[in-house]
Amino acid sequence: MDSFVLDAEPRSEMGSRAARRLRADGLLPANIYGHKEDNVLVCLDAKAFRLFFEGGHRILTLRLGAKSERNVVKAVQYDSMGSHILHVDFTRISEHERLEMEVPVEQIGIPKGVASGGVLEFPLKDVLVSGPADAIPERIMINVEALDLGQAIRIKGLPVPDQCSFVQDSEQVVLHITASRATEETDVAEGDASQPEVIGKPKADEEAAES
């Protein structure tokens, strides 16, 4: 996992009014806790954190004065519209400490089943990974080009990161290719089509009656 460093500053004021003042100045209120040490109230550059977080990163080093600590993002609070980050909680971690983290799964390529009229469904965009803090990847990449209609990739089919393991059921479907509704309707229509009656041809019971 890449190493990211963000600078933090101590804050002494608490409450919503103080938090609003910080955010108006481009700062993000945050807390640091864990490892049986005192909780620390800090603030950091809101734009720098947003770039870090929206890039899919979760582990970083927070530099507070002369002290630097390895941390993982534990919780992020958004506004009611879900567009602005209001507050973040960090938890201290050590280099070899084992964590459980949700890691996004990203596809490489276009499945051939999609070219055949199928639809790619992605029911599990994040998987739970357990491993040392610095071994957990930012994302898991899978090549889906060979995936055809009716085929799926399950957790057991994902590449396992070094020193890590997947926590969820290995049979859980990550993504699969299903037939589109239009394709299904066409198949049904073709399957239900009956042979047209030949005009002028007597029916079997009429022929029997005449004979």
Question: In which band, very low, low, confident or very high, does the pLDDT at 150 lie, cut at 50, 70 and 90?
Answer: very high
The amino acid at 134: D
> Token pair for residue 32?
């640091």
Residue 188's pLDDT is: 47
Summarised one tens digit per residue, pLDDT across range 87-135 is 999 999 987 788 999 999 999 999 999 988 999 999 999 999 999 988 8
Instruction: Specify the higher pLDDT residue, 13 or 119.
Output: 119
Task: Give me the long-range contacts of 112-116 (CB less than 8 A, separation at least 24).
Answer: 112/145, 112/146, 112/147, 112/148, 113/147, 113/148, 113/149, 113/150, 113/151, 113/177, 114/177, 116/148, 116/149
Which DSSP state fits 169? -
Residue 6's pLDDT is: 96
Residue 13's pLDDT is: 84
Domain with CATH 2.170.120.20 in the chain: 100-192
pTM: 0.69
Topology, domain 100-192: RNA Polymerase Alpha Subunit; Chain A, domain 2 (2.170.120)
Residue 181's pLDDT is: 64
Distance CA 72, CA 58 (A): 6
Q: By mean pLDDT, which of 46-55, 130-139, 143-152, 177-186 is the weakest? A: 177-186
Tell how strand 59-64 and strand 5-10 pair up: parallel
Question: In which band, very low, low, confident or very high, does the pLDDT at 191 lie, cut at 50, 70 and 90?
Answer: low
Assess whether pLDDT exceeds 50 at residue 55: yes
Residue 199's pLDDT is: 47
Instruction: Specify the higher pLDDT residue, 50 or 207.
Output: 50
Q: Which CATH architecture describes the domain 5-93?
A: Beta Barrel (2.40)
Q: Determine whether 86 is exposed, middle or buried from the number of CB atoms within 10 Å of its CB (0-12, 13-18, 19+).
A: middle
The amino acid at 174: V
Output the average pLDDT for the chain.
86
Domain with CATH 2.40.240.10 in the chain: 5-93
Distance CA 49, CA 30 (A): 11
